[in-house]
Amino acid sequence: MSAINLKVNGKVHAVDVDPTTPLLYVLSDDLALNGPKFGCGLGQCGACTVIVKGQAIRSCITPVKSVEGAEITTLEGLGTFEKPHPLQRAFIEEQAAQCGFCINGVIMTAKAFLDKNPKASEPEIQQAMSGVLCRCFTNVRMLRAINRARDGMTTEGRTREAAAK
């Protein structure tokens, strides 16, 4: 065990854990953050995705010690019920969820991508999301929601939306 300082969603938490513990376990078991989910545990499905220093990473295969002191954002850090992030709002508006299990990875991957590529085209978004596919029938709605969020996050998009109303 060792004392590790984690900066999650803007707050610093001191945790006393084995430094090799996967970040996902510490987030859920020590910090009670249940946005990131355990899916495969092998870095393949993306259900456990969080954003570290602007990058979407798979927390199930990330030793907690390796992200000590770094800015970590989980789904809980994106928005609130009262003030959802544009992606969260778009997912609600498009009703883009079925199982609810994959959605953390989809939204966090989309956020990291759109933050860096605010004007991404539809094919670019599709490509960026190819590692976190919804396995039921909601994938098309999810892509629609991400495109809608992109439009809501840029001035051009907001102008286009306003013109369409």
47 binds ligand FES (CB under 6 A): yes
Q: Does 63 bind ligand FES (CB under 6 A)?
A: no
Q: In terms of CB distance, is 38 or 65 closer to ligand FES?
A: 38
> First and final CA of the chain: distance in angstroms?
58
Residue 41 binds ligand FES, judged by CB under 6 A: yes
Per CB under 6 A, does 138 bind ligand FES? yes
Closest of 154, 87, 88, 118 to residue 162, by C-alpha: 154
> CA dihedral defined by 150, 152, 154, 155, rounded to 10 degrees?
150
Residue 164 C-beta: closest distance to ligand FES, Å? 28
- At its nearest, how many Å lie between ligand FES and the CB of residue 46? 5
60 near ligand FES, rule: CB under 6 A = yes
Q: Does 92 bind ligand FES (CB under 6 A)?
A: no
Q: How far apart are CA 8 and CA 64, in angstroms?
A: 12
101 binds ligand FES, rule: CB under 6 A = yes
Query: In what order do the strands lie in the sheet containing 11-17?
Result: 11-17, 2-8, 71-73, 49-52, 55-58
User: What kind and span of H or E run contains 4?
Assistant: strand 2-8
Q: 38, 89, 131, 151: which one contacts ligand FES (CB under 6 A)?
A: 38
Binding site for ligand FES (CB under 6 A): 38-41, 43-48, 58, 60, 97-99, 101-102, 134-136, 138
